[in-house]
Amino acid sequence: MEDREPLFSHTPVLLNECIDGLDVRDGLTYVDCTTGGGGHSFEIARRLGNTGRLICLDRDADALRAARERLSPFLDKITFVHVNFSEISSVLDEYRIENLGGVLMDLGCSAFQQTEASRGFSYMKDAPLDMRMNREDTLTARDVVNEYPPERLLKIIDLYGEERFASAIVTAIVRRRETKPIETTAELSDIICSAIPKKIRAVGHHPAKKTFQAIRIEVNRELDAISPAIRGAADKLTPGGKIVIISFQSGEDKIVKNVFSEHLPPRLPRLRLRTETRSGDRNQKTDPAERKRT
Ligand SMILES: C[S@@+](CC[C@H](N)C(=O)[O-])C[C@H]1O[C@@H](n2cnc3c(N)ncnc32)[C@H](O)[C@@H]1O
Q: Radius of gyration of the chain from Cα atoms?
A: 20
Of the pLDDT bands very low, low, confident and very high (cuts 50, 70, 90), residue 48 is: very high
Helices (H), 133-282: 141-147, 150-161, 166-179, 185-195, 198-201, 209-219, 226-236, 250-258
Q: What is the distance in A from the centroid of ligand 1 to the CA of 228?
A: 16
Sign of the Cα torsion 267, 273, 274, 277 reads positive
Residues 78 and 211 in one domain: no
Domain that holds residue 170: 119-219
Residues 215 and 255 in one domain: no
- C-alpha–C-alpha distance, residues 77 and 53, integer Å: 5
Side chain identity at residue 10, one-letter code: H
Please identify, among 167, 191, 219, the residue that sits at the C-terminal boundary of a domain.
219
In a domain, 63, yes or no: yes
Q: What is the distance in A from the centroid of ligand 1 to the CA of 32?
A: 9
The total of structural domains in the chain comes to 2
Residues 131 and 40 in one domain: no
Q: 224 CB contacts (<8 Å, ≥6 apart)?
A: 86
pTM of the model: 0.90
Reply yes or no on whether the pLDDT at 43 is more than 80: yes
In a domain, 4, yes or no: no
Mean pLDDT across 19-39:
96
In a domain, 6, yes or no: no
Residue of 11, 18, 58, 222 to mutate, ligand 1, most atoms within 8 A of C-beta: 58
Q: At what angle do helices 209-219 and 150-161 cross, to 10 degrees?
A: 110
Q: What is the distance in A from the centroid of ligand 1 to the CA of 112?
A: 11
In a domain, 214, yes or no: yes
Sheet holding 53-58: strands in order across? 78-82, 53-58, 29-32, 100-106, 237-246
Residues 103 and 163 in one domain: no
Looking up residue 245, the CATH number of its domain turns out to be 3.40.50.150
Please identify, among 219, 238, 257, the residue that sits at the C-terminal boundary of a domain.
219
Looking up residue 164, the CATH number of its domain turns out to be 1.10.150.170
Residues in a beta bridge with 30: 54, 102
Mean pLDDT across 278-294:
35
Give the closest residue (by CA) to ligand 1 atom 7.
Answer: 39
Please identify, among 187, 219, 251, the residue that sits at the C-terminal boundary of a domain.
219
In a domain, 10, yes or no: no
98-152 pLDDT per residue, tens: 999 999 999 999 999 998 999 999 999 999 999 999 999 999 999 999 999 999 9
Residues 231 and 199 in one domain: no
In a domain, 39, yes or no: yes
Residues 50 and 94 in one domain: yes
Reply yes or no on whether the pLDDT at 21 is more than 70: yes
54-110 pLDDT per residue, tens: 999 999 999 999 999 999 999 999 999 999 999 999 999 999 999 999 999 999 999
Residues 208 and 275 in one domain: no
Share of the chain above pLDDT 90, in %: 78
Residue of 110, 139, 213 to mutate, ligand 1, most atoms within 8 A of C-beta: 110
Which helix (H) or strand (E) segment holds residue 239: the answer is: strand 237-246
Residues 229 and 98 in one domain: yes
pLDDT, position 63: 96
What values do phi and psi take at 28, rounded to 5?
-110, 165
Pocket of ligand 1 (CB under 6 A): 10, 12, 34, 36-40, 57-60, 63, 84-86, 106, 108-110, 133, 222, 225
Reply yes or no on whether the pLDDT at 252 is more than 70: yes
Residues 97 and 227 in one domain: yes
Residues 210 and 232 in one domain: no
